Amino acid sequence: MSIEVKNASKIFHHKQGRKSRKATVLDNVSLSIEQGEFICLLGPSGCGKTTLLNAMAGFETLTSGDIRINGKPVTGPSRNHVMIFQNYGLLPWRTVQKNVELGLESQGQYSKPERREIARKYLEMVHLADLSEQYPHRLSGGQQQRVAIARALAMRPEVLFMDEPFAALDAITRCQLQIELQKIVQEEVKTIVFVTHDIDEAVFLADRIVVMAPDPGRIKTIVPVTLAHPRMRNEPGFVDLSKKIFREFIPVGHPTIEYYI
């Protein structure tokens, strides 16, 4: 499922008293994503990466430009293009099993036994089948995010959009979920667009890293990641690529760069 972004711009208008202030969040962004690619949008706060993700997912309207998925204009959210957020979005009054079944219920094409079977499959994939009758408040943050991933996969989407899904987790849990996501991608062959601030996370997961810059939000460079899976953070190629990307964010001559060469 290919994604084509052409000359995407987004301008927000903020009122300050009687005056209106204009902020260009995206400025003439163009990007092509091939079916089955794992793309990371990487950059500092204010560079427009989440706005671009929301526009691709149909949650944000562009000021100008065009986004198409498989040749069709994006005009709003679609059940074939699912978003996974940082805050999990689980319903506290439903069990883990019932949370995963939620999207299937809205589709209206599966019987109750079929929904249960599909949900069970994806709970097993994220190693939570034994917690299927628990409620979200009994789960850790990492477990809740696994439920959110299982719920998204149960919809069998063609594209997964992920907005910093691991940002609120501790470092160990975050690494574990990165490994799980990598395995899921290999099994499911989904097109994934993943927003992150974390350079190592992007290098670990992505086929290509779209490095974005702010004021106004734009693509600074696109870095292909040719390292084979599974990737190890201490291998020379991984370290060298992380350093290369880090330098994209530091002005030439800035003292910080001396610590990362």
**What is the architecture of the domain spanning 1-49+58-80+158-241?**
3-Layer(aba) Sandwich (3.40)
pLDDT tens, residue by residue, 114-126: 999 999 999 998 8
The model's pTM: 0.90
- Average pLDDT on 62-79 reads 94
Please tell me whether the peptide bond between 216 and the residue prior to it is cis, using omega within 30 degrees of 0: yes
Residue ranges of the domains in the chain?
A: 1-49+58-80+158-241, 88-156
pLDDT for residue 256 is more than 80: no
pLDDT at 252: 59
Worst-scoring range by mean pLDDT, 74-78, 79-83, 245-249, 256-260? 256-260
